[in-house]
Amino acid sequence: MFMIQFLNTAVILLVVNGGIPYITYKNGSYYEDFSVGWYREVGSTINLAVLLSVFTPHFASIGFGALKHTRACFDRGCTCNKRKTKKFV
């Protein structure tokens, strides 16, 4: 997973927006160096990708926990009594 995220975040963005002539065109021109324009367009994209990769793995855990508690609530008939259940024992 690390290698895929690294490839997607770093390598592809640098190849597409870097300073390699005839390959790295951005709106008809390419960035020859790490300039202010490069940081505004490419750097912000990299920062957003890294920020999303930090938080998105936790969304699944939060979602499954919420699903577990929602199912338990429906099983109890939406009461707070943990001993009440519709399951057969």
pLDDT tens column, 47-69: 888 888 888 889 989 999 999 99
Range of the domain at 26: 2-75
CA atoms within 13 A on the CB side of 10: 6
86 domain residue, yes or no = no
Tell which residue, 5, 1, 35, has the closest CA to residue 18. Answer: 35
Q: What is the pLDDT, as a whole number, of residue 66?
A: 95
Arithmetic mean of pLDDT over the chain: 78
9 domain residue, yes or no = yes
Of the ranges 37-41, 64-68, 83-87, the best mean pLDDT one = 64-68
Could you give the number of structural domains in the chain? 1
83 domain residue, yes or no = no
CB 9 within 8 A of CB 49: yes
Q: What is the pLDDT, as a whole number, of residue 69?
A: 93
28 domain residue, yes or no = yes
58 domain residue, yes or no = yes
87 domain residue, yes or no = no
Record the tokens describing residue 27, joined without a space.
């709106």
pLDDT in tens, 20-31: 655 545 555 566
Q: What is the pLDDT, as a whole number, of residue 68?
A: 95
